[in-house]
Amino acid sequence: MQLQDILYSQGFGTRRVCAGLIQQGFVQVYEPNNPLAPVKCAQAATEFDAVGLRFQVQGVDWPYAERAYLMLHKPAGTECSQKPSTYPSIYTLLPAPLRQRPQKGAVQGVQAIGRLDQDTTGLLLLTDDGKFIHRMSSPRHHVPKVYEVTVKHPLTPAQVSQLLAGVVLDDDPKPVRAAACEAVSDHHLRLTLTEGKYHQVKRMLAAVSNRVEGLHRSQIGGLVLTEDLKPGQWRWLTAEDLALIQA
């Protein structure tokens, strides 16, 4: 695969722009026999095996990824929208190549899988793999999501039992149940859901006469948001991470 095509596929601009980056000496490639010192490549048409390739563009390291899979620690005061109405978009937290990866559809770059409200923090997955988005978003997939909920009023055993048994929301007569529910402290509830209705956590707590004061998603499937990934930071998902999500 030509180097200019590799850069294009990773979101570094049109093929002409990518060729220009290479010709101006802004691109270095890590060779398999020397993985510590990248070598400058000034020929846009130079062929490389893309799989496993690592390279630098303007001093920043990048791995080749046929499809991008990311996790982001969403901070408060951000919207999961390409066209936010009030708060900054989560997409501004990502480098330009991830937002520009070419797609067949009208929307380019990685997309969030599901949404978190502007005041909700925590684990958010993003990808440019449409099939993966569909599979993860499908109600039939039932990927458990764990939320750390700060509530206004002290929790009672009856409220926890009610959430596990099921509560009725105003738009659906069918009860909605928590897959797991634990009162960590008087005002801290750990809630696990396998479906994603609009404002579901807030509405479920309202149904048991309590109120959400803070909401943080700590886990999706077996993938836990660790403390080393600070609010606003992102990282690539590994094969092991993906296996944890889909297990």
* DSSP at 143: -
117: annotated active-site residue: yes
Task: Give the Å distances, CA to CA, from 49 to 64, 103, 232, 245.
Answer: 10, 22, 33, 29
Task: Give the Å distances, CA to CA, from 145 to 50, 57, 74, 178, 218.
Answer: 34, 36, 15, 10, 8
Q: Which of 49, 61, 117, 241 is catalytic?
A: 117
Tally of CB atoms within 10 A around 202: 16
- Which residue from 144, 213, 208, 148 is spatially nearest to 175, judged by alpha carbons? 208
Question: What are the backbone dihedrals phi and psi of residue 186, each rounded to the nearest 5 degrees, phi first?
Answer: -55, -35
73, β-bridge pairs: 123
Active site residues: 117
